[in-house]
Structure 1
Amino acid sequence: MLSHLVAKQDSPEPASSITESWQAAHGEPQEAEGGRASSALSTSLKSLLKGGSDKDFRRLIYNLLSLSNVMVRNREHFAAYIGVTNQQYVIMTILYETPGATVSHIANQIHVSSQFITLETGKLIKKGLVDKRPHELDRRSVSLTLTERGQTLLREVWPLRRRTNDLTFQSLTKEQAAILDQIIGSLVMGAQMALHELEAPHRSGRRAPSIERKPKSGLADPSQ
């Protein structure tokens, strides 16, 4: 069961901001429990540290990345099966679930720019898979819908998608699936907050100090 992941706990101390963490990296490192410098830890949240070590947390991150990479590769197979790109396939599935969706709705759904969605839907329109028409309530926007051909292609890939998802999530009970959904939702919100801070104007163009330093060759200068 995953219930222990959402069990009531004492509220962890708030994490330092990314800016504060960056500044701390240029000061004297503090020793964490277990003797490892705290500046080398990948998190400062006590709830994610075990005996002062972030080893278990890093394993969690690697597992999440592995799962994400495999799921993207699976989706690439779905997309190739119906002759579109990965992102175009995602757009088509959203339009199947939400007929008449706008460009901004799709962009918000998958966290990309409206310009990107406009470009990709333009390609789908040329392929005869998506149709557009003026939005009924906002004439500055357009409603996007799948054509009959687009719907047919998605219906043809559904059995492949269903089999893949059955194999991927077969170990979860109904209760575990609900808890996982809650956890992933919270992680997505936190990740968006972190990305917003990483992309803040005051961080624009900032790089690690050592990048500008010339590496030592280890050889004596013959002119000296």
Structure 2
Amino acid sequence: MNDVQRNLHLPRFLPYRLTKLSGVISRSLAGKYSALFDLTIHEWRIVAILGSEPGLTAREIGPLASLDKVSISRAVEKLHKAGRLEKRTLKDDRRSAALYLTAKGKAVLADITPLAQKYEDDLLAGFTPEEVEQLDHFLNRLDAAAEARK
């Protein structure tokens, strides 16, 4: 063992900090969305993704939403049963379906979007525009570095 071995100090360990921050933010948002719109954070992610990229399959949404197959499947089924999501069977692969927001799903997205944007604005209120750009740049670099290590 090296004499200069680094100790793992969890409060300064980047993966822990990012996971903790993500959890705090997700729980806070989920609390708001659940109470106001009867949506889980997983459902919200799917609604947001389909709002900008309609027609994706559940398999395509998974990596974009950072959700596993089971979470995607449950969220898609709940959205479908609630009338917020429409499934269209693919001609080339009848086991898969393209997913689209219904009018009800689009209305939920329209109602949530300003709340989500305000939440983000409030989180970033203590940063200058330059710092927000730097943060975005650093997050993009971290994302690329993490993807390269998969």
TM-score after normalising by structure 1: 0.56
Q: What residue in structure 2 maps to residue 41 of structure 1?
A: 7
| SS of structure 2 residue aligned to 1:185 | helix
Map of 1:206-217 to 2, 5 A cutoff?
none
Q: 2:76 aligns with which of 112, 121, 124?
A: 121
Q: CA RMSD in A?
A: 2.6
Q: What residue in structure 2 maps to residue 110 of structure 1?
A: 65
Q: What residue in structure 2 maps to residue 201 of structure 1?
A: none
Return 5+ residue gaps in structure 1 as ranges: 1-28, 33-37, 43-54, 197-224
| SS of structure 2 residue aligned to 1:133 | strand
- The one-character-per-residue Cα deviations of 1:34-58 (angstroms, maximum 9, x if unpaired) are xxxx1x533xxxxxxxxxxxx6x84
Deviates more, 1:63-72 or 1:93-102: 63-72
Aligned residues: 147
Q: What residue in structure 1 maps to residue 115 of structure 2?
A: 160
**Alignment check: 8 A CA contact 2:76 2:85 kept:** yes
Q: CA deviation at 1:98?
A: 1.0
Residue 30 (structure 1) aligned with residue 2 (structure 2)? yes
Q: What is the rounded CA distance, in whole Å, between the counterparts of 1:176 and 1:135 in structure 2?
A: 44
Deviates more, 1:145-154 or 1:70-79: 70-79
Normalized per residue, which structure has more helix? 2
Q: 1:143 aligns with which of 73, 95, 98?
A: 98
Q: CA deviation at 1:31?
A: 0.8
| SS of structure 1 residue aligned to 2:116 | helix
Q: 1:134 aligns with which of 61, 74, 89?
A: 89
- The one-character-per-residue Cα deviations of 1:65-87 (angstroms, maximum 9, x if unpaired) are 44323211222134212102121
| SS of structure 1 residue aligned to 2:131 | helix
| SS of structure 2 residue aligned to 1:31 | coil
Q: Cα 1:144–1:159, aligned 2, differ >3 Å: closer, same or farther?
A: same
| SS of structure 1 residue aligned to 2:56 | coil
**Alignment check: 8 A CA contact 1:95 1:145 kept:** yes
Q: Which amino acid aligns with 1:91?
A: I
Q: Cα 1:118–1:68, aligned 2, differ >3 Å: closer, same or farther?
A: closer
Q: What is the rounded CA distance, in whole Å, between the counterparts of 1:113 and 1:120 in structure 2?
A: 11
- The one-character-per-residue Cα deviations of 1:183-211 (angstroms, maximum 9, x if unpaired) are 212323444566x4xxxxxxxxxxxxxxx
Q: Which amino acid aligns with 2:116?
A: R
Return 5+ residue gaps in structure 2 as ranges: none
**Alignment check: 8 A CA contact 1:100 1:145 kept:** yes
Map of 1:1-224 to 2, 5 A cutoff?
29-32=1-4, 38=5, 40-42=6-8, 58-59=11-12, 61=14, 63-80=17-34, 81-135=36-90, 138-140=92-94, 141-192=96-147, 196=150
